[in-house]
Structure 1
Amino acid sequence: MAETAHSDQPLLNTPLHAEHVALGARMVPFAGYNMPVQYPTGIMTEHNWTREHAGLFDVSHMGQAFLVADDKSHETAAKALEALVPADVLNLKPNQQRYSQLLDENGGILDDLMVTRVGAPGHEGWLYLVVNASMKEQDYAHIQARLPQGVSLNRKDDLALMALQGPSAAAVLGKLSPEAADIPFMMSADVQIDGIWCHVSRSGYTGEDGYEISCKAGDATKLWNTLLADPEVKPIGLGARDSLRLEAGLCLYGHDIDTTTSPIEAGLNWSIQKRRREEGGFPGAARIQREVKEGAARVRIGILPEGRAPAREGTVITTPDGREVGIVTSGGFGPTVNGPIAMGYVSKDVSAIGTDLHLVVRGKPLPAKVAAMPFVPHRYKR
């Protein structure tokens, strides 16, 4: 969550900025935008509300774009993107969504992103991409520079994006758009909500069942307030978004994954489908295929510190006898776990669940154990 603004640039506002201010949100600079970190009730209350009801997040700072093949062929668009990411894009069904990573030549992660095969009639050969706010300019430039002739990238800065997450999300959305409640996990549909065109996917970054909803920027305020009118829904800021994703064991770009980490080190093997593992054909394929076969020298792990002191990003990890074996990349208090939790990278020999470790917090080694992730079970609608 600790992405920072580019200080030489004025901060941007999302289309929902005035709504956050009116709701009494504490606004902070995040990835070049003014974003709500919390509302008056506080991060803990917001976190718990999302776990028990439905939380509404403004994620309009994320980058939304379309990859479009002139020949209207899904194969053309898919092959263009498969030259940049390790996911199987070719075999996506219409309206199906997949998580992947943009890779550099060494198999390091330039960004992670969501890819959807657009299923709307007349949009054959279209892929919908959602990238991280802090990386969108670099991502767009990187993709644009590597596209073959006949495939173009259309960025959509005129779209807003919000996430409705939690066990009540389907019931809330179902009242407004019955077909939205029936969307399966990692699938999407174009629906009308209160007369507003929306592209809705059954996905999110909290570990809970829920949706990400894209709409035109001009419709964002009406949609936001329509969703908030349901007593099950409350607005949630970046603080709880971060504690929820940490409990769900999900990576945050720029912290848990970056150009120094490969998808295999990060434990993202599941996001590289069998065909791509075997065929390669993406940046850094030789390294990634080797790591799939032999295992990576270091791996991302879950960590449960003993006691109540949280271990923050950058905390050094050692063995109980003082040998330095890794570093914490995300850490904090887990409200649902009711204690400190962390993620980080350690050498493979100390990565087994239950292994004793020490976390050096303010110069003091504090005991911890390697833990299974997610810390809180995922509740996606499978």
Structure 2
Amino acid sequence: MGELQRTVLYDLHKEYGAKMVPFAGWDMPVQFASGVMKEHLHTRAEAGLFDVSHMAQVILRGDDAARALEALVPVDVIGLKPGRQRYAMFTTPEGGLLDDLMIANKGDHLFLVLNAARRDVDLAHLHANLSGLEVEEITGRALVALQGPKAEAVLAALNPAVRDMRFMDVADLELAGATCWVSRSGYTGEDGFEISVPNTMAPRLARALLDDPRVQPIGLGARDSLRLEAGLCLYGSDIDETTTPAEADLGWAIQKVRRPGGAREGGFPGADRILAELTDGTERRRVGLAPDGRAPMRAGTQLFADEDGAEPIGSITSGAFGPSIERPMSMGYVPAGMAKPGTRLFGDVRGKRLPVSVAELPFHPHTYKR
């Protein structure tokens, strides 16, 4: 492992008692002094501030950039209106998921946010396939997320215009003296905002937010349990190049115009398989899983149809204890015929077959401002 990169908020994290861990090549806070459980619950009740500056920020410029990008993703980019953002996926020729990402239409350019662990893969993919466009990685800006039911009130104290934004809106706003690129989105299932801010102004903005008593700093530990309660995928765990959009239950992200019979059907890597699975179904599906008892079933746990089954029928990809729901929760892949909520399965935990039930996702309801 090479030397870990540090975000511009590293010193602030240490000041607030962060425990730092390596993550995707970065030295990141996994938790702060209050601990993962309290951070999680505080975000659900008030507002949490997350440093997500490790993620890649990319601008695409050029003639017909939206149409060019549609050749790499199965979503409607051409129809994405200025001031709006959309969840998307890079797909492989085999129909797998190269990465998931966010795409925003900023009017004269597209703005992409990519996963940190896939930064190099994604940038190479963009450069190789969008030779007619300018692909610019933004390196002089931090990225923070303010999440929770009090997020709007907190941010509106810095700029009241945020009150007019709805889920997946994007806007350029002045916050604490900095020109920020703001989206009303996040990775917790809560209402909130993701804010791209110049590095030179990021500590000032973070302190302005943390000075509000409703805001606490939140680490990667609570970020993971929050997104799992919300039923959101983590790339490299729940989705990867071996999973397709339909298998991952991400078909909702593919708009009608790109589906079979749509005006711009297909035209992206793996379209034949992906469109066929949207129509005909898949052999396996990502599902929620609720273990009996209080002990979580974690990633890698093999699933069986009964206590004595010799061959696993699936496996768990994410698992943790859900502080908001006060019980363990998992996600994983099972045969499509066993994906109905309530189906009883068994997970192999240290050689013991323990019962687990297929559950509805999300475990905790989303509270986005529609």
For the superposition of Structure 1 and Structure 2, which TM-score range results when normalised by the shorter chain? Answer: over 0.9
> C-alpha deviations, 1:36-65, integer Å up to 9, x for none?
000011000000000000000000000001
Alignment match, 2:123: 140
- Which of 328, 346, 351 is the matching residue for 1:358? 346
Matches within 5 A, 1:58-137: 58-69=51-62, 71=63, 76-119=64-107, 124=108, 126-137=109-120
Out of 54, 65, 69, the position equivalent to 2:47 is 54
**Gapped runs of 5+ residues in structure 1?**
1-6
Per-residue CA distance 1:181-208 (angstroms, 9 max, x = gap): 2111101100001211111100000000
Shift of 1:104: 0.8
- AA partner of residue 377 (structure 1): P
State how far apart, in whole Å, the 1-side matches of 2:239 and 2:258 are.
Answer: 21
* Greater displacement, 314-323 / 55-64: 314-323
What is the Cα-based RMSD across aligned positions, in Å? 0.8
Residue aligning to 2:301:
315
2:200 equivalent to 1:218:
yes
- The CA deviation string for residues 89-143 of structure 1, in whole angstroms up to 9 with x for no partner, is 0001101100011111011111100000013xxxx2x100000011111100111
Aligned with residue 337 of structure 2, among 323, 338, 349: 349
Query: Contact 1:327 / 1:345 at 8 angstroms: preserved in 2?
Result: yes
SS in 1 for 2:298: coil
Aligned-residue offset at 1:148? 3.9
Structure 1 length as normaliser, TM-score? 0.94
| Worse-matched range after superposition: 239-248 or 320-329 | 320-329
Q: 2:208 & 2:258 partners in 1: Cα distance?
A: 42
Distance 1:54 1:305 in 2: 29
How many residues of Structure 1 are paired with residues of Structure 2 in the alignment?
Answer: 364
Q: 1:277 Cα shift?
A: 1.1
Match of 2:313, SS state, is: strand
Asked if 2 retains the 8 angstrom alpha-carbon contact of 1:80 and 1:148, the reply is no
- The amino acid across from 2:45 in the alignment is E
Q: 1:3 is matched with which residue? A: none
CA contact (8 A) 1:354 1:369 kept: yes
Give the superposition deviation at 1:308. Answer: 1.2
What secondary structure, in the 3-state scheme, does the structure 2 residue paired with 1:245 have? helix
Residue 15 of structure 2 is matched in structure 1 by 22
Contact 1:316 1:324 in 2 (8 A): yes
Distance 1:193 1:158 in 2: 17
Residue 22 of structure 1: how far off its partner (Å):
1.0
AA at the equivalent of 1:157: T
Provide the residue aligned with 1:295 in structure 2.
281
Structure 2 counterpart of 1:101, one-letter code = M
CA drift of 1:297 comes to: 0.7
| Structure 2 residue aligned with 1:4 | none
Which of the numbers 40, 47, 51 marks the counterpart of 2:33? Answer: 40
Hey, what does 1:327 align to over in structure 2? 315
Amino acid at match of 1:128: F
Report the Cα offset of residue 349 of structure 1: 1.1
Counterparts of 2:177 and 2:134, CA distance in 1: 31
**2:202 aligned with 1:238, yes or no?**
no
CA distance in 2: counterparts of 1:57 and 1:181, whole angstroms: 20
Q: Deviations over 1:146-183 (max 9, x none)?
A: 1142x120000111000000000001111110001211
Structure 2 equivalent of residue 198 of structure 1? 180
- Runs of 4+ residues over 2 Å off in structure 1: none
- Give the distance between the partners of 1:166 and 1:179, measured in 2 at CA: 18
Give the % identical residues.
55
Q: Distance in 2 between matches of 1:42 and 1:329?
A: 24
Deviation at 1:236, TM superposition (A): 0.2
Aligned partner of residue 121 in structure 2, secondary structure = helix
